[in-house]
Amino acid sequence: MQKMWSGRFTEAASSLLDEFNASIMFDRELYREDIEGSLAHATMLQEQGILTQEELGSITKGLAQVKEEIESGVFVWELSDEDLHMAIEKRLTAIIGEAGKKLHTARSRNDQVAVDFRRYVLRKNKEIMELTHDLIRALHTIAQDHSDTLIPGMTHLQHAQPVNFAFHMLAYGAMFKRDYERFEDSFRRNNVSPLGCAALAGTPHNINRHSTAEKLGFDSVSTNCLDTVSDRDFALEILFNISMSMMHISRLAEEMVMWSSYEFKFITFSDAYSTGSSIMPQKKNPDVAELLRGKSGRTFGNLMGLLTVMKGLPLAYNKDTQEDKEGVFDSVKTIEISLNILKEAMLTMNVHKENMESACKVGHLSATDLADYLVQYCDIPFREAHFITGKAVAKSEELGIDLSDIPFAELKAIDARIKENVMPFLSIKHSMNARTSEGGTAAVRTMEQLSHLNTWLEANQK
């Protein structure tokens, strides 16, 4: 079969070349963007007197039929057509005849693929923002119920200081909010139309780039065509934004894997989001959380893959960039399902408040409070206070109790300067509520963070 570009060729393409060169197996994902881009382009050509009203009419009708054929599954995708751009143009011409052959006036596949892929990425940017918003809303909902639930705050995965569970959820809320803003920022920067750049240098036809930009929802037109047809920064940005967000998802997932173990027993996943073992009948496994953690890997790989594709490319378009799509499709699909299932698994999990609280009675979580008390109420320098507290911790270990339960007499015996008013400072809840500095875990500060996040969620509601 004759290729659209075969005018100068005398031999037919090998089938091996067809297979190697084609993107049609995967770029059909962009059919909506391609048809919309063609419609905007044809309309602009008519506005500029390059196409007649009749020609535009038949192109519009023909493209509607092509779309219909694709969506109903009757469209024939042939490897020999190379990519979706040529497959659609070929079918259009078969349906409407001569006018179809004029559609590609003042356009190249280089700006065509740039506009299609950019609009796909921008659309997915918005979808991911909405899913991220939903996840933050879910974290906020869980946090609302737990501003008074104590959980051991950790450093080095060792018990450190008590915090409340809402504060812990809000930490993830803060991460996902940054992710949301990163997608938003990328959207703003990249909402620029490539259409009209043609192959690399612009076109001698009297086109109006602003008209197509406006029709396609872009804020403006790109400033340099050579850059535009080879720029894939927008794709790299979404790959990076997805990777960053998947890294956050993975951290939360890791905590959920731990929390659902017998050792922690802080949460139980609902049956709907748990799996069993093929051999051990008693098991209930956190596969969802593990996969969330694991799937971050492929998104990092997709980012590295495209960075590597791009790094050695001279200006302008090179066929290498055809490798930009599959990784993005994969990362988008991965994060969309991940955000969704994480939200569902969290909203349906059981939070075992009592176990979180009893874990706070292990590891002498109020030790820093005792040291702070010695500084504030007994005028003891911090280094010395740290040492005295160490003695009190050792005494508690010897007695087989937590520091929060040590009798006053034992403290007095360690250092006579310690007064009876020390006792409330040893309580775990007191310790949590004492951290009232801005951004701290004290219930008052947590409520403040909850309310700020709620204001943000409402302001960014779709």
Residue type, 170: L
Smallest distance from ligand ARG to CB 308, Å: 17
Among 58, 132, 193, 322, binds ligand ARG (CB under 6 A): 322
Minimal distance in Å, beta carbon 120 to ligand ARG?
A: 12
At closest approach, how far in Å is the CB of 105 from ligand ARG?
17
Sign of the Cα pseudo-torsion (444, 449, 454, 455, in order): positive
Q: Which is nearer to ligand ARG, 4 or 247 (CB)?
A: 4
Q: State the nearest-atom distance from the C-beta of 324 to ligand ARG, in Å.
A: 7
Using CB under 6 A, pick the residue from 55, 81, 83, 330 that binds ligand ARG: 83
b/e map 117-147, b = 16+ CB within 10 Å: bbbbbbebbeebbbbbbbbbbbbbebbeebb
Q: Of 100-159, which residues contact ligand ARG (CB under 6 A)? A: 109-110, 113
Q: Which of residues 281-320 bind ligand ARG (CB under 6 A)?
A: 317, 319
Restricting to residues 91-110, which ones interact with ligand ARG according to CB under 6 A?
Answer: 109-110
The position carrying tokens 């894939």 is 232
Is 321 an interacting residue with respect to ligand ARG (CB under 6 A)? yes
Closest CA relative to residue 46, chosen from 266, 267, 205 = 205
Contact flag: residue 228 with ligand ARG (CB under 6 A): no
CB of 322 to ligand ARG, least distance (A): 4
Task: Please report, for residues 76, 96, 125, the alpha-carbon distance to residue 70 in angstroms, rounded to integers and kept in the order given.
Answer: 8, 17, 24
Q: Residue 110 or 433: which CB sits closer to ligand ARG?
A: 110
Which among 6, 14, 270, 277 is annotated as catalytic?
A: 277
Active-site residue, 205 included:
no
Cβ nearer to ligand ARG, comparing 23 with 149: 23
Nearer to ligand ARG, 3 or 452 (CB): 3
Report, in Å, the least distance between residue 342 CB and ligand ARG. 32
Shortest Å, Cβ 72 to ligand ARG: 24
CB of 5 or CB of 382, closer to ligand ARG: 5
Looking at the Cβ atoms of 120 and 273, the one nearer to ligand ARG is 120
How far, in whole angstroms, is CA 352 from its chain's centroid? 29
Q: Is 220 a catalytic residue?
A: no
Number of residues that bind ligand ARG (CB under 6 A): 10
Q: What character string, x for contact with ligand ARG (CB under 6 A) and - otherwise, covers 22-41?
A: -x---x--------------
Catalytic residue among 156, 248, 250, 274: 156
Rounded CA gap, 268 and 351, in Å?
A: 7
**C-alpha pair distances (Å), 71 with each of 82, 96, 105, 221:** 20, 19, 27, 30
Residue 232 or 445: which CB sits closer to ligand ARG?
232
Buried-exposed string 237-264: b where 16+ CB fall within 10 A, e elsewhere: bbbbbbbbbbebbbbbbebbbebbeeeb
- Closer to ligand ARG at the Cβ: 27 or 357? 27
| 80 sits near ligand ARG (criterion: CB under 6 A) | no
Q: Which two tokens stand for residue 193?
A: 């139309």
Q: How far is the CB of 85 from ligand ARG (least distance, A)?
A: 6
Q: Which residues pair with 220 in a beta bridge?
A: 192
End-to-end CA distance of the chain: 49
Residues designated as active site:
156, 277
**Contacts with ligand ARG, residue ranges (CB under 6 A):** 23, 27, 83, 109-110, 113, 317, 319, 321-322
